[in-house]
Amino acid sequence: MALTGSLLLTGCKSTYKTLSFDETKIPEAPDYANEDFWAVLPDKHPLELKNVIGSKTEAKRADVFFIYPTILTDRKNTAWNADIRDPEIRKDVLEGTIAYQASAFEAAGNLYAPFYRQSHYKIYVAPYDKEEAPSRNVAYSDVRKAFQYYLDNYNNGKPIILASHSQGSIMGKMLLLDFFDNKPLQQRLVAAYLPGIRVMEIEFKTIKSLETPISTNGYVSWNTYKRKKYPKRYKEWYSGGTVTNPITWGNEIRSNYDQHLGVLNTDNQIYPNALEVEVIDGMLWSTVPKIPKRFFLSLIKNYHFADINLFWKDIQQNAIQRVDNWFKKNQPDVE
């Protein structure tokens, strides 16, 4: 595949080697006072993308808390939650989603990304989805503790971007409800970027979807699919959800090639003017991106794995823009 992201093939029928949740050993919980349980901290940056991120820059005035998507997908793995001490899992996190997704936000803020005992992909597939709740509770207990540790020890009052994808966005939505919705911390929320899941405003009391490129204190979300195609579980998983246009960041139903800032491909190159999008109910339709080896992308219809990669440069610039506007609103005399 030409782009890198999480694997979520909705509606597929697969067989997984597994035991019941109660019969499966839960990996030992992380201690976030130990830096080894953070994939990224501002002074612990494991990976740079040449020609994209460049060298590490000075400390920034905002923070980014990033929650990565589903990495644990091995059908032979009987675990319900990831062992974050496993070197292979850590490698997949760092070389995949951190490099090609979290990197989109790094220019806007100091990056924090915890390792967490995420759920195995099988919790989204029947009949294994019966174990979704206990597995998700394990995953969220880590994310919640990591975020609380971040607030208590790293944040120091700075504005916050929540950024995530797929399973990470499920965790991010739960953080919004627990820490921000109708709470004082919402005033420090620059934006929550929650692509890859259905998010609806009715789920929150005070947090709203952001409808301009510079709006703050709310969220954006989208689910990308090939134009004119629908997933099998469209009504169940997508219909009714917020759909942000991640090129214009406004209410525009369509955007053109010349408005698109750039796809990040696995050759570490940015390809601008590569696609057009159209907003429909609960989903974002995309043309086949004009990038190397695009033929392979023309063969599939689900672009979920590339929800961030397709709009990498657009996200990068928008995150910077929202941080700038947050400071203009909250500290108008500060340049």
Candidate from 1-10, 37-46, 150-159 with smallest mean pLDDT: 1-10
User: What is the reported pLDDT for 335?
Assistant: 47
pLDDT surpassing 60 at residue 9: no
Render pLDDT for 109-134 as a digit per residue (tens, 0 to 9): 999 999 999 998 888 888 888 888 99
pTM of the model: 0.93
Q: What mean pLDDT is reported for the chain?
A: 90
Q: Report pLDDT for 44.
A: 81
Q: How confident is the model at residue 5 (pLDDT cuts 50, 70, 90)?
A: very low
What pLDDT does 8 receive?
38
Mean pLDDT of 93-115: 95
pLDDT score at 125: 85
Which residues fall within 8 angstroms of residue 331, CB to CB, at 6 or more apart? Answer: none
22: tokens are 């109660």
Look at residue 57 in the predicted model and tell me its pLDDT.
58
Percent of the chain at pLDDT exceeding 90 = 75
Q: Which residue has the higher pLDDT, 92 or 2?
A: 92
Return the sign of the alpha-carbon dihedral for residues 313, 314, 318, 321: positive
Kindly indicate the confidence band of residue 293, based on its pLDDT and cuts at 50, 70 and 90.
confident
pLDDT at residue 332, as a whole number: 67
Q: Which pLDDT score is estimated for 58?
A: 72
Phi, then psi, of 334 in degrees rounded to 5: -100, 125
Q: What is the mean pLDDT of residues 289-299?
A: 90
pLDDT in tens, 205-235: 999 999 999 999 999 999 999 999 999 889 9
- pLDDT (0 to 100) of residue 10: 37
pLDDT classification of 56: cutoffs 50, 70, 90? low
14 has a pLDDT exceeding 50: yes
Of residues 143 and 12, the one with the higher pLDDT is: 143
The total of other beta-carbon atoms located within 10 Å of residue 305's CB is: 23
Give me the pLDDT at residue 49, please: 55
Q: Is pLDDT at 279 greater than 70 in this prediction?
A: yes
Q: Are 268 and 51 in contact (CB under 8 A)?
A: yes
Packing angle, helices 132-150 and 167-175, rounded to 10: 60
pLDDT for the residue 53: 59
Dist CA 220 CA 256 (whole Å): 20
Give exposure, 163-176, as e/b (b: 16+ Cβ within 10 Å): bbbbbbbbbbbbbb
